[in-house]
Structure 1
Amino acid sequence: MSIQAQNTITEAEVFTTTDQAVGNITFTNNGDLVYSHHPFFSPEIRVVKYDQKTNTTSPFPNLEWNTPRATDDNYLSNVLGIRNDKNGIIWILDMAQRDNVTPKIVGWNTHTNSLERIYYLPKSAVPAIAQPNDMVVDTKHGYFIIADEDIGNGGDGTKAAFILVDMKTGITRRVLEDTRTTLPENTPTVINGKHLAVNGVDLLIGNDGITADANFNYIYYGPLNGTKIYRIKTVDLVNHDFTDTELDSKIETYSDKPNNGGMSIDKEGNLYSTALETKSVAVVLAKDRSVHTMIKDDNLVWPDGVSYNHVDGYMYVSAAQVNRGAVFNDGKDLSTKPFFIFRFKPIATGVSFR
């Protein structure tokens, strides 16, 4: 995959630095950041809120929800995916891989500061090998649409899929598992000449980055290790009458892409995709689907989640340093403090509430 322009479209601005790796970022209605501490580093506090007025952080939604215990499972085990919706609810995707609890989506109402709802995800849709890492909160059609990259306990990317959760009923289904657009390609992640590998074997990661356009008409997605972004009409993806074969026939190959993590979009349809190997964020222009470098910075090591803040008009992106984690470096954590959160102005107004 060749990026059309080596020069960046705009500059990256350091928003803040942290002592722990940041995974995905979302926002409250007043623009405060809520983000996951990246689960690859086994953080004590799973999710935090960053108060822009005081430049301080606190456990989100509170300390109790970030404290594992044996008496019940109303706590967060390990979290990467986190999204907001138009109703002021922060939805937290708990992969539940650190503790013996059921994977779940926890909705916290920031208006009432109270639990909105918990959706438990059954083993039939989220087996042990799953790693449900990111999602779209589609309030138009009433679905959580989750990208499962399939690198959970014993997973190797070959069973990557979508997980669909009906917001009304809670019914959860697994679709497009082990299919051409959810599976990783043989495009290993190589950063500074070093392969992302475990015990000498390249880690190939399936269905990962995901976003929806402003009207929830299309879902855009792709495997982390892969050269293409795909899209499918949302009404088709959530239609329980279609078989995987029928769904596959409705998928469009949309554009090229780098090996990427998070994905976002603006109101003109320009797609923003973190480019893991080049310390940058790429953009796919809606006008011709060409791929360009949006921002680049030496401290943007493993850019992970990218999200739009509807209050200040910036896209935010974390630098998680995942490739420096112990699992990829013979048991030695090579990450260095501080960790960075960057922001930049998108080409057009971004899309909120995905």
Structure 2
Amino acid sequence: MKTIGHIILLTLTLAVMACKDTTRANRDTVGTNTAPESQKLETVFTDSIYQFTGVAVANDDRLFVNYPYWLDTHQYSVVEVKQGKAVPYPNETWNSFKKGEDGQNKFVCVQAVYTDDQNYLWIVDAAGIGLGPVYQRSNKVIKINLATDAIERIYRFPEEIINEHVYLNDIRVDNQNGFAYMTDSSSGGLVVLDINSGESRYVLEKSPAVLSDKNYTFSPLGEELTTSDGNPLKVNSDGIALSPDREWLYFKPLTDAKLYRINTSVLMDFETPKNTIEESVIDLGTFTTTDGMIFDDKGNLYFGDLEQHSILKITPDLQMQELVQDKDQLIWPDSYSISKDGYLYITASQIQWMPWFHQGKNKTKIPYKVLRLKL
């Protein structure tokens, strides 16, 4: 992999060297368990039955949450939170899927929700029930106009672009240039979607940048997290974030501490050779594990440290700061959305306590929570 331009390389190299020297070493000295009053976590929504992953806040403070179909205990896939109640969105029909039914025009297994700068809600339906293969080729992305609550477009994917083993995870949308970007957290890769034409492209397949480091010991419970077969949990490209100027796409595997970015210009041109795309990836160095991640409008990048139960800010010069730590509430901080009035909304999905890692026993500590933090 190579950088774009010698000046960028020199600048990033110096920054990354500083980051590598300070991030892990300073984790015991930056921040404290007692955050300033303005940085206390607030609970804004709870669910005592169903596990959610994604959260999205619109400009008018409408709050949306999604529930993946991972366990048998499942009801709705996407809800709007109204006066503390979960209301199926955009309607009951889209949330009525049952195994065996046609999933083309219903939510099957929704992984993420995202609100853009033009008042649209984007919904990623990975359609991989229980993280399994795509159900009857029903994976899709749904675009909803929040002014009318009407579905404006459904994006579907040719099988030669996205096969049944691709689990679409998170999404970021660039309306200015007309593209959306998604991660594939199963095989490892990025999906680029032209939101005007509907064409899509799968890139970085098997690139080291999208694959979790096999040598990293991922330990959100204090020891390495293993699946029911005894193998260490390894999750590939998962978190994704688009810089405020839309020039850089940041992404990383979930179960290691590496962070990467790539200039969006090479992704938007579908004629760019795949080897050129891989060579354009920039390794930003070692930070920490996170599931989702998000930029604010000042270029700060926010992580949720899965192993330290904390929320971190990475400044534009790649310095990492701890904002808050809470072992009781930040149990697998999962997805993020930033409201117009400057709150970071956070889901705590408690994935490390799921039956997958405890011989079939669900050890999650209800309720599941949507939290927020004043930035």
TM-score normalised per structure 2: 0.84
Alpha-carbon distance between aligned partners in 2 of 1:16 and 1:22, rounded to the nearest angstrom: 11
2:358 paired residue number: 329
Return the letter of the residue paired with 2:233: L
Alpha-carbon distance between aligned partners in 2 of 1:144 and 1:338, rounded to the nearest angstrom: 33
Q: Deviation per CA, 1:29-50, whole angstroms, max 9, x where unpaired?
A: 3111111124434521111111
Residue pair 2:59, 2:339 contacting (<8 A) in 1 also = no
Residue pair 1:256, 1:291 contacting (<8 A) in 2 also = no
1:182 paired residue number: 210
Alpha-carbon distance between aligned partners in 1 of 2:85 and 2:226, rounded to the nearest angstrom: 36
Distance 1:87 1:329, change over 3 A: same
1:245 paired residue number: 275
Q: Deviation per CA, 1:257-306, whole angstroms, max 9, x where unpaired?
A: 211101011122111011111111121122x3122212211221111001
- Aligned counterpart in structure 2 of residue 291 of structure 1, from 320, 328, 339: 320
2:200 paired residue number: 172
Alpha-carbon distance between aligned partners in 2 of 1:302 and 1:182, rounded to the nearest angstrom: 21
- Aligned counterpart in structure 1 of residue 183 of structure 2, from 124, 128, 147: 147
Unaligned runs of 5+ residues in structure 2 are 1-22, 130-134
TM-score normalised per structure 1: 0.89
- Aligned counterpart in structure 2 of residue 32 of structure 1, from 62, 70, 73: 62
Alpha-carbon distance between aligned partners in 1 of 2:198 and 2:221, rounded to the nearest angstrom: 44
Residue pair 2:239, 2:293 contacting (<8 A) in 1 also = yes
- Aligned counterpart in structure 1 of residue 174 of structure 2, from 131, 138, 150: 138
3-state SS of paired residue (2:304): strand
Give 1:271-350 correspondences, 5 Å limit. 271-286=301-316, 288-297=317-326, 298-310=328-340, 312-346=341-375
- Aligned counterpart in structure 2 of residue 47 of structure 1, from 78, 85, 89: 78
3-state SS of paired residue (2:127): coil
2:121 maps to 1:90: yes
- Aligned counterpart in structure 1 of residue 162 of structure 2, from 109, 126, 133: 126
Alpha-carbon distance between aligned partners in 2 of 1:281 and 1:22, rounded to the nearest angstrom: 19
2:104 paired residue number: 73
Residue pair 2:109, 2:127 contacting (<8 A) in 1 also = yes
Distance 1:63 1:236, change over 3 A: same
Give 1:105-120 correspondences, 5 Å limit. 105-120=141-156
Distance 1:343 1:71, change over 3 A: closer
Q: Quick one: percent identity of the two aligned structures?
A: 26
Distance 1:71 1:181, change over 3 A: closer
Which has the larger displacement, 320-329 or 62-71? 62-71
Give 1:215-230 correspondences, 5 Å limit. 215-230=245-260
Alpha-carbon distance between aligned partners in 2 of 1:72 and 1:243, rounded to the nearest angstrom: 34
Alpha-carbon distance between aligned partners in 2 of 1:276 and 1:72, rounded to the nearest angstrom: 32
Q: Deviation per CA, 1:125-176, whole angstroms, max 9, x where unpaired?
A: 22222111101111122112111111xxxxxxxx310011111211111100
Alpha-carbon distance between aligned partners in 2 of 1:262 and 1:31, rounded to the nearest angstrom: 20
Deviation at 1:101, TM superposition (A): 4.2
Distance 1:128 1:71, change over 3 A: closer
3-state SS of paired residue (1:247): helix
1:2 paired residue number: 24
3-state SS of paired residue (1:235): helix
Residue pair 1:3, 1:291 contacting (<8 A) in 2 also = no
1:155 paired residue number: none
2:290 maps to 1:260: yes
Alpha-carbon distance between aligned partners in 1 of 2:364 and 2:264, rounded to the nearest angstrom: 38
Alpha-carbon distance between aligned partners in 2 of 1:59 and 1:309, rounded to the nearest angstrom: 21
3-state SS of paired residue (1:177): coil
Alpha-carbon distance between aligned partners in 1 of 2:114 and 2:170, rounded to the nearest angstrom: 9
Which has the larger displacement, 160-169 or 92-101? 92-101
2:191 maps to 1:160: no
Deviation at 1:72, TM superposition (A): 6.2
Unaligned runs of 5+ residues in structure 1 are 151-158, 347-354
Alpha-carbon distance between aligned partners in 1 of 2:259 and 2:25, rounded to the nearest angstrom: 14
Alpha-carbon distance between aligned partners in 2 of 1:40 and 1:280, rounded to the nearest angstrom: 25
3-state SS of paired residue (2:70): helix
Alpha-carbon distance between aligned partners in 2 of 1:306 and 1:188, rounded to the nearest angstrom: 25
Higher-Rg member (1/2): 2
Higher strand share: 1
3-state SS of paired residue (2:277): helix
Deviation at 1:178, TM superposition (A): 0.5
3-state SS of paired residue (1:190): coil
Q: Which 4+ residue blocks in structure 1 deviate beyond 4 angstroms?
A: none
Alpha-carbon distance between aligned partners in 2 of 1:274 and 1:257, rounded to the nearest angstrom: 11
Q: Give the RMSD, CA atoms, in angstroms.
A: 1.8
Return the letter of the residue paired with 2:220: I
Which has the larger displacement, 36-45 or 212-221? 36-45
1:352 paired residue number: none
Alpha-carbon distance between aligned partners in 2 of 1:146 and 1:72, rounded to the nearest angstrom: 21
2:92 paired residue number: 63
Alpha-carbon distance between aligned partners in 2 of 1:124 and 1:71, rounded to the nearest angstrom: 21
Residue pair 1:183, 1:207 contacting (<8 A) in 2 also = yes
3-state SS of paired residue (1:194): coil
